[in-house]
Chain A
Amino acid sequence: GDSVTQMEGPVTLSEEAFLTINCTYTATGYPSLFWYVQYPGEGLQLLLKATKADDKGSNKGFEATYRKETTSFHLEKGSVQVSDSAVYFCALRTGGTSYGKLTFGQGTILTVHP
């Protein structure tokens, strides 16, 4: 079945540090890939997405590239801020009758200190 594996957290960084959160996946067919962010006490918000190989999703300074050869979708940001502290989820979605069903990774807690 489909699965998503994220690097284990928590990740603690100082403000303006470089961020990488690794994400690899296993899926049949050609999934769409997503990063969601969950701020404390809130629901999930879509951060970025990529729907086919070599696509790069970007938003709010975050980037991730869909790498089919390595089945990866690592999240990066060049300079994190305290406001980026949240839980980040990598997810995939396949098509067909299962369209819309997301498979999530376990989430990575990010804490950014001033």
Chain B
Amino acid sequence: GAVVSQHPSWVICKSGTSVKIECRSLDFQATTMFWYRQFPKQSLMLMATSNEGSKATYEQGVEKDKFLINHASLTLSTLTVTSAHPEDSSFYICSARDTPPSGGLNTGELFFGEGSRLTVL
């Protein structure tokens, strides 16, 4: 299957600093990527939908200014956690939709990155 890579896989930072996490589709173009957050022993919660060349769509309750998402190219989306605090510590996972050339809105498979574990001290 297609490969989605996240970087870094883990990061430790001090409170108040900003952290950027990258999500790359390695062998396909992804017009749409999704960012999820997973708390320990809990399910994945969708944070936002990232569309190439346009603003991200955030889920209710997710702070746009806190979690900045940029989807500058068809193979890269970034999530920046600004002014991170200990409560932002979590496992962040992205997924990318592989859209066939002839595909419409309801096509394409989803592939997940390996996740990025953020620890804020």
Please give the residue numbers on chain A whose beta carbons come within 8 Å of chain B beta carbons, in ascending order.
36, 42-46, 89, 93, 95-97, 99-107, 109
**Closest chain B residue, CB of each to CB of A101:** B46
| Neighbouring A residues of B115 by C-beta, 8 Å | 42-43
Considering the chains assembled together, what is the distance between the CA atoms of A104 and B112 in angstroms? 14
Within the complex, the shortest CB–CB distance from B75 to chain A, in Å, comes to: 17
Contacting pair A104 B43 (CB below 8 A): yes
Please give the residue numbers on chain B whose beta carbons come within 8 Å of chain A beta carbons, in ascending order.
1, 6, 32, 34, 41-44, 46, 49, 93, 95, 97, 105-106, 108-115
- The prevalent SS among residues of B at the interface is strand
Considering the chains assembled together, what is the distance between the CA atoms of A46 and B10 in angstroms? 22
Chain A to chain B contacts (Cβ below 8 Å), 24 pairs: A36-B112, A42-B114, A43-B6, A43-B112, A43-B113, A44-B44, A44-B93, A44-B112, A46-B1, A46-B111, A46-B112, A89-B43, A95-B105, A99-B105, A99-B106, A100-B34, A101-B46, A102-B46, A103-B46, A105-B43, A106-B43, A107-B42, A107-B43, A109-B41
| Neighbouring A residues of B113 by C-beta, 8 Å | 43
Considering the chains assembled together, what is the distance between the CA atoms of A110 and B93 in angstroms? 21
Interface centre among A97, A101, A106, by most chain B C-beta atoms within 10 angstroms, is: A101
List 9 additional A-B contacts (Cβ < 8 Å) besides A43-B6, A99-B105, A104-B43: A46-B1, A89-B43, A95-B106, A99-B106, A100-B34, A100-B97, A100-B110, A101-B34, A107-B43
